[in-house]
Amino acid sequence: MTPDTLRPHCLNRDACTAAKPTSHCRRCNAIAVNASPDHRAKCSAAMRERYQDAAFKAEHTEKVRHAIKRAAKDPEWLARKREVGRRYGAPNLLSGHTTESRRKAGPRISATKLSHIPEHLRDEYRKLSRTKGLTKAERIEVINGIIDIERRASPEAEGRRIVERITREMEAKERRRKAQAY
């Protein structure tokens, strides 16, 4: 990017509040600095580190809440938000986000997101999340433990596993034989 595209505001001398024609206003300088991916990564890492502190997180959350309340009292801000709602809200309402479509989408989304969990254990997985408050890794560990117990407890399942393994070995052997025949 060229400086002209990074700092369009300063190119219009009437719009820019910079003291000298060769300098840039605070807004354009911030645009240029924040265009750097390295700078953005550094800022993100610093904020993630700060958010580890519970006191900082609570204080920051309160500041944001207060700023939103203050902005909500500003008539210009409310007018801008309403305009955005009119511009983007109406097309979204017409795009098929009906109750019926959401009802159909729910099970499909769940099936996709929980595809690594056997169907008969998905309710258990959800219950671990809601009632126990376990992390995803912990929930998966618990579910894998249940799967191992089921495999050991059921002779039929063990038999199926053995038959599947033998079948796979026979199919692989047959593929090798055919490949060597040519």
The ranges assigned to domains in the chain are 3-74, 115-181
The token duo for 77 is 């801000």
What tens digit of pLDDT does each residue of 158-182 get? 788 788 889 989 998 998 888 887 7
- With cut-offs at 50, 70 and 90, classify the pLDDT of residue 66: very high
Q: What is the largest CA-CA distance in the chain?
A: 84
Total residue length of the chain: 182
Helix axes 37-51, 54-72, angle to 10 degrees: 110
- pTM over 0.85? The answer is no
Could you give the percent of the chain with pLDDT greater than 90? 26
What tens digit of pLDDT does each residue of 11-49 get? 665 666 665 656 667 777 787 788 889 999 999 999 999
